[in-house]
Each structure stands twice: as C-alpha cells, then as structure tokens.
Amino acid sequence: MTLPTTDDLYSCYDKLTDSSIDLKERENAYKTVLVGVKGDENAKRLSSQFIARFSKLFENLLEESFNCFLDLCDDDDVNVRSQVVHDLLQFCKHARVFVPRVADVLVQMYQTDDKKELNVISLALSQLLHSEPKATLLGIFNRLLSMNAENSRENTLKFLCERLKSLPDSVLTSDLESFVVEQTNRVLHDVSEDEFPMLISLLSSLKCMSTLTGRQKLVGMISQQALQAVPTFNASDRACIAQVRESCRQAALCISKNVNAHDLYIYMLEKFLPQFGDFAEDTFDERLSLLQLTAELLFFPSPALASIKSEDITKYLNFAFNILSMFLPNIPSEETADNMKQPSVEKPTLNQMGLKFSELEASLFLCCQLGCYYPQYFGGKANDNEPELSAIEDGVDRLRSVRPRLQYLSQLAQDYATTISGQLDKNLQSEESKLRIMAHRLMMNIQRMIRCFFHNPPMFKTINVTLSWIQSPVTSIPGTKRPLSTDSGNHHSTGVRQPRGDRLLYTPPIGQWSRVDTFDSNKGRFRFGRSGRGRGRNF
C-alpha cells in the first residue's frame, strides 16, 4: 500500500472542506488522512492536524482517529509528539468522551527526559484540567493506579500538586475536591516513600481538608495507610521503618489540640516501643526519629485514651519506662566520686559517659504523658473511689528505685544548661547558636519533666514543655506544619518543623564541664537550679 504524501494530504484537505462533494467521497479522503500517520515526518504532523480538525465530521471513525493519535504519541521524533499533544486538545473539544483517555495518554508521555517536551505535556494537561477537570483527573488517577515508571509517577504527582492549587474556586468545587480525596485515597495504598508526602501535600492543599473535620479525616487516611501497609512492625526491615516513619511524619503535620492520631500512636505504643531494643546499630538514627515521632503524636491524645483499660496503659508505660531506664545514667560509686574530686583526675565528658539526651527527652515525655492516665504506675493516686493499692505499692517501689538516677540526670542537665547559657552568641541565627539554643531547651525540658517525678505523689498534669526538636514559629502554609503556639491548657506547642533530613541533632561537647563529683546520693530530695526563666518559655 502506497502511503500518502503531503501533496496527497492537501488534496484530501480540499475535498474535506468542499461541502459540495459527496459525503462518501469525503469520508474516503478522511480515511486517507488517517493512513498518513504512517508516512514521513511532515505527513505525520500534517495528518495529526487534519484529524484534529475534521474528526468531528465522522463520529463513526472517532475510535480509529484516536488510535492514530496513539500511534503518533509513540513516534521517535519529538516534533511529531509535540504536534500530537497540541492536536489532542483540539480533538477533545468535540469528543469529550475521550478526555479521560487523552489524560491517560499524556501522563504516559511523562516518561520523556526532554524538558521542552515535558513543558508541552504539562501545558496540555493543564488546559485539559481547566476545561474538563473531573474527566481529566479520572484519567490521571487511573493511570497512577496502574503505572510503574518512577519518573512518570513523579512528574504526574508534581503536576497535580502544582496545578490543583492554581485552579479557581469555580473549577475546583467541593464535589471535585471530594473526588480528588476519593481517588488519592486509592493511590495511597501503593506508593513509595517519596510519593507519599507529595500525595499528603496534595490533600492538605484542598479547602475541604483545611477544616478540623477535614484534618481529622486526613490523619485517619494516613493512619489507615500505615496500618494496612505495615500491620506488624519489624525493626530489622528498613522498608518497614521508612514507611512507618513517613506516615508518622505526615500525621504530625496535621495534629493539633482538636485533631489527633489515636490509631497511629496506639500502633507505635504497641508495635514499635516493644522492639526498641531490637534495632541494629546502623539504624539508631531512625530509631530516635520514631521515638520522637511517637512523642509528637502523643502530644495531642484523643479522649479515647482515657477510656483504655488500665492493663493496656500499664503495658505502654512498661515499654516507655524500659526505654527510659535504658538511657538513664548510672550513679557513680562513692569511690569514683571521691576520685573525681582529685585535681589530677580528668573528669569524664558527656560523650565518654554515653548519654543520649534526645532519647531521654522523648522517653521522659512518654512516661509523663502516659502517667497522666495511670498515675498509679509511679505511686500516684487516681480519682476513683477504689484505689488500686497493689498497683500503687508497685509504683512507689518503681519510683523509689529510679529517683536517684533521675536526680543525677537532672544535675547533669542543669550543669550543661548553665554552661550553654554562657556560650550563646549574639548572632542567634548562626547554625552553632541554633544548635546551642536547641540543646539548652532540651536540658530545660529534661529538668522540668524530672520535677514531675519528685512530687509526692508524682504529678504529671503540670508539665509544660515544647519539645526541643520542634522548630521556632513560622507562618503556616497548606501542606506544611503548624505554627508554634503555647496553650496554657495543653503542654504541647505545634509548629512548622524542619524536615527530618536537615534536622539539627544535639551532640554533647567534648569539653570537661561535667561535674560528676557534685552528686551526693545521701542528700535526699534535690534542689533544681534557676537556669530556667519561666515555665514554657521558648529559649
């Protein structure tokens, strides 16, 4: 079969525009145009233009016309592909039923590495999204559910995140937002670690997700995705660790005084805390991140936590207390303390002592927060009329055994906080100053939380801290974290956090500041220093 040349195609064009010619002859001319997609480059581009213009005259050939476009989309010539992208938009104006399929095709074309072609595809998708939003989104999401090519998925998700935000309210209606939420929830069940935050950012940008009800729904979607993807936590599985960590991070973006992540923090208490000691040494950073995220999620507990059985709360407290005990410093023996008083003896530094203040801060908070719901665990009394005497007695013994180590830790933290206060630069924006401010806040938090254990009976409801790894206040934007705010009725301030990958991690200095010889285990209750300048103050 001889393929039509450009001259043949122009001859067909003349017939198609001549209304005096018989319809059958015009249809034959159009079929010749369809065959032209197999010709040379010029014939392909010309055929694409003619198909887009005249396909509306032959509804019986629409499917065949669309298949011709598909052939051109696979062409090796970028100019041909760019031409067909433009013509597909023209085709959709009179064949709207093909919009989902055209959107599907354009998404598949995102596999290209040509930036110019990517811009052409994005522009076409954007125009299609404005003119036929729901049908376009249907095609995009259907392709996301079946597409495996990483670069195509990444480009598609970037497009959705950027372009949905730019849609006017007249286009992005409440019904369309509900459709986006429904489709995104389907995609969430099978996404990579990098794709997950992009989809959550997409959902966060929707107006329907900016309300308390919407935020709670978003947290529920995140929790459901995590619990279904990783029903059983495995401390030796890096993929499992990464997925749980990212889910917790995204949930922490959304929680507030009126929005909680109950299912997710219960999962962390039941699945993660018991395996805390099973992590390999090369995953200790991830372990710390998960511990801090558990504390963040528990900042805003749901009312349902108060109705959990005492046996379950006791179980969670056991896990948290074991982690705390793992990192609490041991009290130096009297002989060691006496030796430290000798001028010729070099005093150990924090690094040499192996103290992990970040782990201590997070585990202390978990014990304090959970202790609010079951004070008997540390020898406190509940408000009910029938106190659990045996539980209280066990709690008193538990508290008595740990108080000396807590006291010693508080003295170390107080000494270090005093040292840091004298080292702060006037330039508070420097990286070194930021690190010192964070370390100072960490030490103050540890001291405040330890105080709770030295009330008689222990009191945990008066704690008022902003955890040290939570960043300073900034303006909140959709898809990012909340600004910090202090609430006198709550002991957690929320805010836009620094991405975990760029987070400042506190490492104790090597200098000889540690005064381990100042501890005296015979002093009984200890006095806290006045280096803190106010309850809940941000330093």
Tell me the three state secondary structure of residue 256: strand
Query: What angle separates helix 99-108 from helix 62-73, to the nearest 10 degrees?
Result: 10
Residues spanned by the domain of 360: 308-468+506-539
Helices (H) then strands (E): counts for the chain: 21, 0
Does residue 339 lie in a domain region?
yes
Cβ atoms of 355 and 508 within 8 Å: the answer is yes
- Residue 519 has a pLDDT of 44
Contact yes or no for 365/452 (Cβ under 8 A): no
Q: How many domains does the chain have?
A: 1
In this structure, is residue 534 part of a structural domain? yes
The model's pLDDT over 314-358, given as tens digits with 9 standing for 90+, comes to 999 999 999 999 999 998 876 655 555 555 555 555 555 678 999
Tell me what pLDDT residue 193 has: 83
Report pLDDT digits (tens) over 479-520: 444 444 333 334 443 333 444 444 444 444 444 334 344 444
Give the count of alpha carbons within 13 A of 527, CB side only. Answer: 4
Establish if 22 belongs to a structural domain. no
Single out the residue of 42, 41, 20, 43 nearest to residue 33, CA to CA: 43
The whole-angstrom separation of Cα 313 and Cα 292 is 19
How many CB atoms within 10 Å of residue 232? 7
Rounded to 5°, angle at Cα 154 from 148 and 158: 145
Average pLDDT over every residue of 285-306: 95
Name every residue whose Cβ is closer than 8 Å to that of residue 111 and which is 6 or more positions away in sequence.
Answer: 149, 151, 152
Query: Does some domain include residue 406?
Result: yes
Residue 99 burial (10 A CB sphere; 0-12, 13-18, 19+) = buried
Q: Measure the CA–CA gap between 323 and 28, rounded to whole angstroms.
A: 80
User: Measured between alpha carbons, how far is 244 from 233 in angstroms, rounded to an integer?
Assistant: 8
Whether residue 301 is contained in a domain is answered as no
pLDDT confidence of residue 368: 94
Q: What is the DSSP letter of 208?
A: G
pLDDT tens digits, residue range 59-95? 999 999 999 999 999 999 999 999 999 999 999 999 9
Q: Report if residue 175 sits inside a domain.
A: no
Q: Establish if 411 belongs to a structural domain.
A: yes
Higher pLDDT, residue 485 or 464: 464
Are the C-beta atoms of residues 247 and 203 closer than 8 Å to each other? no
Q: What is the pLDDT of residue 492?
A: 40
Residues 381-391 as b or e (16 or more Cβ within 10 Å = b): eeeeeeeeeeb
Whether 39 is in a domain gets the answer no
